[in-house]
Structure 1
Amino acid sequence: MNTTSHSASAQTGSAKTKGTQTESTPKVFSSFAEFYPFYLGEHANLTCRRLHLIGSLLVLATLAYSLATQQWALLWLLPVLGYGFAWVGHFFFENNKPATFKHPLYSFIGDWVMAKDILLGRLK
């Protein structure tokens, strides 16, 4: 493969290595039910899961407080709290890149489903 065709395939996200997924080619999921086991695999570390839960609960608390007090400026904290705790979990404990970079909608849903599953005792 010449350099030009390699660059073109990397830019389109279609680069393959011996028939396997590469880092530049995100896996395609046909449903959230298919995605969720992958998502949990990306969150195997207990500390990472706990940080996700803390971030999610802080998002809910901050949202409720902001709505109750009409302090709308606090809403800018929501992505900082939610993603901040999650990304610390990924970069320092899970040692992987957050799934949100390649699967933003399913990852957002996965955060809340995982939080629910932890709170209901379905996950550690």
Structure 2
Amino acid sequence: MSEDAAKADKITTYDAFWPYYLAEHAQPGTRTWHFVGTAIALLFLALAIIRLDPSYIGGALLAGYGFAWGSHMLIEKNRPATFTYPLWSLYSDFRMFFLFCAGKLEAELKRHDIQAA
């Protein structure tokens, strides 16, 4: 088991998980692709609501997870936290998205001493 995986197995609170989640998204490219996937997922969810058509939810899931998991495989070269902490990861993805939209993500990364490798 890798050191990161061992560390992830010991997380018992969301307050401890959040810095871990940010560290797993240290590369700007990973965060960018997460942002793109989340934005497209939100668009699909909006369409599902506006058109009262739940078939758009599949597009939301595909976009959200596809872009995120692809970025972990190709850029970050790590295993998505979603596999170990699905709910905390989903919440954190939206938290990271809205912090980026508010212009506060960089400050949050600095607060937790997260730097790109």
TM over 0.5: yes
Q: Which aligned runs of 4 or more in structure 1 are off by greater than 6 angstroms?
A: none
Does residue 79 of structure 2 align to residue 106 of structure 1? no
Whether the aligned pair in 2 keeps the contact of 1:21 and 1:27 (CA below 8 Å) is no
User: For each residue in 1:70-109, what CA deviation from the matched residue of structure 2 results, as whole angstroms up to 9, or x when unmatched?
Assistant: 2322221121111000011100011111011111111111
1:47 Cα offset (Å): 0.7
Output the TM-score relative to the length of structure 2. 0.80
User: In structure 2, what is the equivalent of residue 97 of structure 1?
Assistant: 79
User: TM-score, normalization: structure 1?
Assistant: 0.76
Counterpart in the other structure of 1:83: 65
Aligned CA RMSD, in angstroms, stands at: 2.1
Q: Aligned runs of 1:66-81 on 2, under 5 Å?
A: 66-81=48-63
* Native 8 Å contact 1:45 1:94 kept in 2: yes
Aligned length: 106
> Distance between the aligned counterparts of 2:38 and 2:17, measured in 1?
20
Q: For structure 1, which runs of at least 5 residues remain unmatched after alignment?
A: 1-15
Task: Give the C-alpha shift of residue 27 in structure 1.
Answer: 2.3
Larger radius of gyration: 1
Code of the aligned partner of 1:121: G
Which residue in the other structure is 1:60 paired with?
A: 42
Between the aligned partners of 1:47 and 1:36, the Cα distance in structure 2 is 19
C-alpha distance in structure 1 between counterparts of 2:79 and 2:49, whole Å: 32
Q: Choose between structure 1 and 2 for higher RCO, CA contacts under 8 A separated by at least 6 residues.
A: 2
Equivalent residue letter for 1:72: P
Contact (CA 8 Å) 1:45, 1:93: kept in 2 or not? Answer: yes
> How far is 1:29 from its partner?
2.3
Question: Which protein has the bigger helix share?
Answer: 2
* Structure 2: runs of 5+ lacking an equivalent: 107-117
